[in-house]
Amino acid sequence: MAEVSNAQIIAIPDDVCRRAGLAATWIGQNKIGVHAYKHINAHSKDVPSSLAPCEVKVHCLRQEVILFEPALRKLVNESNGVFLAIQKIKNSTEDLRPELLKYSKHYRSILRACVENLQDVVEKSTPDKKPTFENYLTIFYNVECVWHLTEILYVNVVPGDVILPQLLEWVRFHFPSRELMASKILAKKSLAADLDNVQYWEAAIGCALHGKLDTVRSLLAMHSKADNPAFGTAENAIRTMPVYNVYGGYSVNEFNMRWKHWQFDLSSQIESKTFSTDRNLELLMRLIVGEELVLWEFSKYTEAWYELLAARLFYSAPCSKQPELARHANHIAEKWRAGRYLDHVILALMESDLHQVIKEIQHMSDNGWFAAHLINLLYNCGRLDIIDKHQINVTSQLHESLILDYASTLMGHHSLWQCGASYFEHCPAQGLTRLQALLESIPLGSEARVNKIIEIARQKHMTNVVTSVSKIQGMKCIRQGRLGNALAWALKAQDGAFATFIADQFLKNYAKHGELECQDLLENLGSCMLISDRLTFLGLYRKYCEFHQTYGLGEFKDAAALLVSLLVSNLTPKYFWSILLTDAIPLLEAEDAVLSSKDTFELLQTVEEHGNDPKFQDKIDLFRLAAARNLARALNIEGCLGDH
Amino acid sequence: MSENIHGTFISEKVSKIRWKPEDFVEAKSFLTGSWDNPVNHITYWTFDTNEEDDESYPVIISSHAFLGDVTELRFISKDLFVASSSIGTVQLLQIQENPYAQFKERLSWNFLHKFPASDYASCTAISTFEQDIVTVGEDGTINLLTANQKIPVRTIEKSDSCSMHCVDFLRHSEVLTGNLLGHMKVWDLRNNQDVPSTTFILSANTKTEATSLAHHPTQRHIVVAGGGDGSLTVWDLRHNTYPVSQLNAHSSSVSEIKFHPDRPENLFSCSSSGQLWHWNNAQNTKLKLDSGDTHWLNTISTKGKVNVTSMCATLHKPINTIDVDRSTLLFGCDNEAMYVIKNIAV
């Protein structure tokens, strides 16, 4: 997607930066650290910096994300639910359109709630905050307006494809002021409404422009000259105006005939000056008959060109289908000289240029909420077909990239990261890899938070994220001197290598201080210790220590058996041999012989292999002596036993 | 059932939700605690009736800023509650209605849980028995507090070499704790030695943390624990420490388990997979009011007489907390919303 570069330029007010140059590094996910930097290489001259002395600053740049505002977080979370619900129905084979329309309306109701909530906030906010919230209000009002039109044109399935009724509804919904005016006048029930209310004609014409003919008739009936035959004729003409309805029982051609006929009648009445008693009435009737000049005259009663567009369609081309809309829209917009941002988006929508629409809505400064959710809806409707300049269909890439952008923004938030994480799964190409990278870099916190991060990784089968997060947490525990907890994390992540590392720490600490930590934990390891040889050794050695404590009770036999099995098991780490061999001395010297001749041979063999540890040098003679004495003893006893 | 559910988005992830107890009448106000924000809140809510459709909706009465994540909220009387935080602080707060609704701090035990390197440790759970409060934390320390005294009654340091995740008073002199590896320990508080009287294991095969504990409201010796793997384990601690039943319930970590306070044949559980389940054994208890020594929870795996119903469609984010009073259930979720379910069938 080659886009026109419209990068934002941010000036850093720092003199050192200005003189030396800049460098920037990412800090976390949506922050950049900017600092002064001058490149030095092997060929640079080794002289004191020309900039010194100076005050060096690191500037922290962060994208402003309005979605993180509490008032808008509701929108973020609630729409996330709708998004995920849409992804769920995607796989069913039924016709998705009616379902999608329901979800589109749900999105709009969320937007509506958000706009209403913002209105409350604006009222309550302090003057310095007010412009900000007013700005948000405009943004989301526009979003809602565009969403509504998109829903009409692309999501809703209109039988017969005649879009006028929905278009009128949309216009009425967004420009309710004149209808409100009319209902106020009607509520007064006066007999000369035009004399009592200066806005009488404005209301009547406003309603006529929105196609609210019933309201217009009620207003006319309250006019001071309502008894005049001109008003009677007008009332009759308006009442009999054919309005196209798909279910009305007429085909489009038939309807057109009837409508043309009615129009002809009315224009002949106008020509015969039937309505000349009241200038406004005559203008109104000329509008209704479809006179373009009058339409433009009344543009003073409209706020946007599309209001006028709806009126023009209503009175001049009531059966227009979507493809014809573009022509009418273009004509009106051009003549109106529509130049507001929203005008462009709406025009592009009407011209069915969705690529342009998406380009435009990306600039709505809502941090991509709108673009991501709307494109997803259209994508699922199958209404999206975007061709880049090389005539390659890039629809799914565009869809994915917009969602990825939005999700990554959320991942940068301390609380909304869970919400953001749930979008990645629905980006088939890059989603999971991106999520993996982001999950690994989320700042950890309490174990509750760590568990939540791991939970997400588990759901998405990212074993390496589980391992790496557990390891980070484990290392933190080691730094805090909590080996037991570090081991727990290693076991939870099933990380054998890390468990070995921690078991080593335990053994080394024992070698140094002669005390085994975290007995309560090691005691209850059970089969978990099999995850690593070192841990198995640690577990067995702990058991040996336990026997050791019961020496006094004459439990030498079990201790001896365990010690010998440890010595021959080949699990012993190198640094631990001296301790194991030292432990053997009292057993060799025990009052009753607890080690058999075979065991003693094993001991002698291990001492030959591993007895060269410097820490053991002072004990080696003692060991040999004890071994020799025990061997003599044991052979003696075994010999006696053999005799029997 | 879904039409009974009403959700309110509150722009904060809800970590705890608790009814404010009332005597003899239905509870009508409640507290929520949030987590994962730089500054979190404990919010006091009540129900307001909308005149248009005669429905009642939760509205905020007052909100109290709270440092760290709210990890637990427990009422010890009608207006006094204990709140614990992830920075290791425990506070005793009072709800005052006059002249305007606010929380008044009665006592604060600051940084009760901490690591040796002057780093704070999260106070992960608290349990209360009348005026007594027991707290456990990631530092593996048990603190025994009482509501009218600033100095802890007793501190058992290094009671566990892993971080502890749940605690429950079995009786006034006995507490049960569960840690990161699912080691469950019973502590007899009358014993002055800092060693547990019994240790047993949540699950022999998988190393998973004990996330939540609940005891039967009338038979305190019956204890249910939720595991990080979504399992529910039931013990009858009178007999032995071997679980009487163990069920693979939720598809991921159980967040909270609650017995219905007045109708203990109903149990509620929620999980980080967004599920909310109702376990009901009503038919059984109606037939025989007290079936002697075997409690229904003991037999759920073998006889399968219990109805398990899902109370709402699976949510997309973890449900962190539930509380139930009479026929109204509240739950809070990580999608920054809390929900009210009315007229539950208990």
Nearest CA-CA distance, residue B305 and chain A, Å: 31
Q: How far apart are CA A637 and CA B215, in angstroms?
A: 59
Chain A residues near residue B37 by CB distance under 8 angstroms: 414-415
**H/E element holding A10?**
none
Calculate mean pLDDT across residues A48-74: 83
Say whether pLDDT at B334 is over 60: yes
**Nearest CB partner across the interface for A446, out of B11, B12, B122:** B122
Mutation target vs B (from A476, A482, A538; most B CBs, 10 A cutoff)? A482
- Do the beta carbons of residue A453 and residue A469 sit within 8 Å? yes
Specify the pLDDT at position B288. 43
Say whether pLDDT at A403 is over 90: yes
Calculate mean pLDDT across residues A622-630: 89
- Do the beta carbons of residue B121 and residue B136 sit within 8 Å? no
CB-based contact A485 B165, cutoff 8 Å: no
Specify the pLDDT at position B283. 56
Say whether pLDDT at A2 is over 50: no
- Do the beta carbons of residue B234 and residue B277 sit within 8 Å? no
Chain A residues near residue B179 by CB distance under 8 angstroms: 488
CB-based contact A455 B204, cutoff 8 Å: no
CA B69 to chain centre: 15
CB-based contact B116 A481, cutoff 8 Å: yes
Phi–psi pair at B49, nearest 5 degrees: -90, 130
pLDDT tens for A133-177 read 999 998 999 899 999 999 988 888 777 777 888 888 888 888 888
* β-strand partners of B178: B166, B184
CATH number (2.102.10.10, 2.130.10.10, 2.40.10.10, 3.90.1720.10) of B2-341 reads 2.130.10.10
pLDDT tens for A83-128 read 999 998 877 767 788 888 999 999 999 999 999 999 999 998 888 8
Instruction: Spell out the domain ranges in chain B.
Output: 2-341
Say whether pLDDT at A4 is over 80: no
CB-based contact A448 B71, cutoff 8 Å: yes
* Three-state secondary structure of A228-248: CHHHHHHHHHHHCCCCCCHHH
- Under the banding of pLDDT at 50, 70 and 90, the label for residue B282 is low
Calculate mean pLDDT across residues A259-282: 86
- Under the banding of pLDDT at 50, 70 and 90, the label for residue B141 is very high
- Other Cβ atoms less than 10 A from the Cβ of B1: the count is 14
For residue A154, give the DSSP letter: I
pLDDT tens for B23-64 read 888 888 999 999 999 999 999 999 988 777 777 889 999 999
Specify the pLDDT at position B321. 95
Phi–psi pair at B15, nearest 5 degrees: -100, -30
In this structure, what is the dihedral angle of CA atoms B175, B180, B183, B185, given to the nearest 10 degrees?
-20
pLDDT tens for A348-359 read 888 888 888 888
**Nearest CB partner across the interface for A448, out of B10, B69, B140:** B69
- Other Cβ atoms less than 10 A from the Cβ of A416: the count is 22
- The runs of H, that is alpha helices, within chain B are 282-287, 296-303
- Do the beta carbons of residue A425 and residue A432 sit within 8 Å? yes
Tell me how many residue pairs between chain A and chain B have CB atoms under 8 A apart. 139
- Under the banding of pLDDT at 50, 70 and 90, the label for residue A11 is confident
- Under the banding of pLDDT at 50, 70 and 90, the label for residue B289 is very low
- Other Cβ atoms less than 10 A from the Cβ of A51: the count is 13
Say whether pLDDT at B290 is over 50: no
Specify the pLDDT at position A502. 94
ipTM for this prediction: 0.92
Strands (E), B50-163: 56-67, 70-75, 80-85, 90-96, 102-109, 123-129, 132-137, 142-146, 149-156
Instruction: Spell out the domain ranges in chain A.
Output: 15-63, 166-319, 550-644
Q: How far apart are CA A56 and CA B162, in angstroms?
A: 44
- Do the beta carbons of residue A58 and residue A35 sit within 8 Å? yes
Specify the pLDDT at position A343. 87
User: Does the CA dihedral B323-B324-B330-B331 come out positive or negative?
Assistant: positive
Specify the pLDDT at position A454. 93
**Nearest CB partner across the interface for B335, out of A80, A458, A484:** A80
Q: Which long-range contacts (CB under 8 A, 24 or more apart) does A328-335 make?
A: A332/A305, A332/A306, A332/A308, A333/A305, A333/A309, A335/A296
- Under the banding of pLDDT at 50, 70 and 90, the label for residue A301 is confident
Closest CA to A535 of A510, A504, A566: A504
Q: How far apart are CA A111 and CA A148, in angstroms?
A: 10
Asked which of A441-445, B81-85, B242-246, B262-266 is least confident by mean pLDDT, the reply is B242-246
% of chain A residues with pLDDT over 90: 20
> What chain A residue is nearest to B123 in terms of C-alpha separation?
A446
Question: What tokens does B224 get?
Answer: 């249910």
Closest CA to A139 of A52, A75, A215: A75
pLDDT tens for A477-490 read 999 888 999 999 99
Nearest CA-CA distance, residue B285 and chain A, Å: 37
Chain B residues near residue A451 by CB distance under 8 angstroms: 209, 228, 253
Would you call B169 helix, strand, or coil by DSSP?
Answer: strand
Q: How far apart are CA A218 and CA A209, in angstroms?
A: 15
- Do the beta carbons of residue A60 and residue A31 sit within 8 Å? yes
- Other Cβ atoms less than 10 A from the Cβ of B111: the count is 16
Residue reference for tokens 């010796």: B221
Say whether pLDDT at A619 is over 90: no
Diameter of chain A by CA atoms? 145
- Other Cβ atoms less than 10 A from the Cβ of A605: the count is 12
**For residue A53, is the peptide bond before it cis, meaning its omega torsion is within 30 degrees of 0?**
yes
Chain A residues near residue B204 by CB distance under 8 angstroms: 526-527
% of chain B residues with pLDDT over 70: 91
**For residue B99, is the peptide bond before it cis, meaning its omega torsion is within 30 degrees of 0?**
yes
Specify the pLDDT at position B300. 57
Calculate mean pLDDT across residues B330-335: 94
Q: Which residue would you say has higher pLDDT here, A158 or B104?
A: B104
Q: How many CA atoms lie less than 13 Å away from A522 in the CB half-sphere? A: 23
Chain B residues near residue A480 by CB distance under 8 angstroms: 115-117, 119
Say whether pLDDT at B284 is over 70: no
> What chain A residue is nearest to B251 in terms of C-alpha separation?
A459
Closest CA to B123 of B92, B80, B163, B66: B163
Radius of gyration of chain A (CA): 41
CB-based contact A484 B161, cutoff 8 Å: yes
- Under the banding of pLDDT at 50, 70 and 90, the label for residue B286 is very low
Would you call A168 helix, strand, or coil by DSSP?
Answer: helix
Chain B residues near residue A455 by CB distance under 8 angstroms: 252-253, 272, 318
Say whether pLDDT at B95 is over 50: yes
Chain B residues near residue A484 by CB distance under 8 angstroms: 140, 160-162
- Under the banding of pLDDT at 50, 70 and 90, the label for residue A65 is confident
Q: Which long-range contacts (CB under 8 A, 24 or more apart) does B95-99 make?
A: B95/B20, B95/B44
Closest CA to A331 of A354, A309, A360, A361: A309
Chain A residues with a Cβ under 8 Å from any Cβ in chain B: 70-71, 73-74, 77-78, 80-81, 84, 414-415, 418-419, 422, 445-449, 451-452, 455, 458-459, 479-485, 488-489, 491-492, 517-518, 520-521, 523-524, 526-528
- Do the beta carbons of residue A280 and residue A294 sit within 8 Å? no
CB-based contact B252 A492, cutoff 8 Å: no
Q: Which amino acid is at B28?
A: K
Question: What tokens does B317 get?
Answer: 């984010």
Give buried/exposed letters for B141-158 (b at 16+ CB in 10 A, else e). Answer: bbbbbebeeeebeeebee
CB-based contact A447 B183, cutoff 8 Å: no
Closest CA to B46 of B34, B32, B36, B33: B32
Give one word for A196, left, alpha or beta, with left for phi > 0 and alpha for psi -120 to 50.
alpha
Cβ neighbours of residue B194 closer than 8 Å, sequence gap 6 or more: B156, B157, B158, B159
**What single string gives the DSSP state of each residue in A511-536?**
HHHS--S-HHHHHT-GGGGGG-HHHH
Nearest CA-CA distance, residue A488 and chain B, Å: 6
Phi–psi pair at A204, nearest 5 degrees: -65, -45
- Under the banding of pLDDT at 50, 70 and 90, the label for residue B299 is low
Chain A residues near residue B38 by CB distance under 8 angstroms: 414
Nearest CA-CA distance, residue A63 and chain B, Å: 18
Give one word for B238, left, alpha or beta, with left for phi > 0 and alpha for psi -120 to 50.
alpha
**What single string gives the DSSP state of each residue in A337-372?**
T--SHHHHHHHHHHTT-HHHHHHHHTTSSSTTHHHH
Specify the pLDDT at position A450. 94
- Other Cβ atoms less than 10 A from the Cβ of A300: the count is 8
Chain B residues near residue A476 by CB distance under 8 angstroms: none
CA A508 to chain centre: 46
Say whether pLDDT at B304 is over 60: no
Radius of gyration of chain B (CA): 19
Say whether pLDDT at B72 is over 90: yes
For residue B201, give the DSSP letter: E
For residue B313, give the DSSP letter: P
CB-based contact A452 B318, cutoff 8 Å: yes
Say whether pLDDT at B292 is over 70: no
Would you call B79 helix, strand, or coil by DSSP?
Answer: coil
Q: How far apart are CA B80 and CA A291, in angstroms?
A: 74
Edge-to-edge strand list for the sheet holding A22-27: A22-27, A31-36, A58-62
The pLDDT mean for chain B works out to 87
CA distances from B265 to B218, B247, B295, B297, B307 (A): 11, 17, 10, 9, 11
Asked which of A190-204, A252-266, A393-407, A464-478 is least confident by mean pLDDT, the reply is A190-204
Calculate mean pLDDT across residues A507-524: 86
CB-based contact B13 A418, cutoff 8 Å: yes
Question: What tokens does B37 get?
Answer: 């924000």
Nearest CA-CA distance, residue A612 and chain B, Å: 36
Asked which of A637-641, B72-76, B78-82, B185-189 is least confident by mean pLDDT, the reply is A637-641
The most confident of A45-59, A310-324, B213-227, by mean pLDDT: B213-227
The pLDDT mean for chain A works out to 85
Chain B residues near residue A521 by CB distance under 8 angstroms: 160-162, 181, 183
Nearest CA-CA distance, residue A310 and chain B, Å: 34
Say whether pLDDT at A513 is over 60: yes
Q: Which residue would you say has higher pLDDT here, A248 or A522?
A: A522
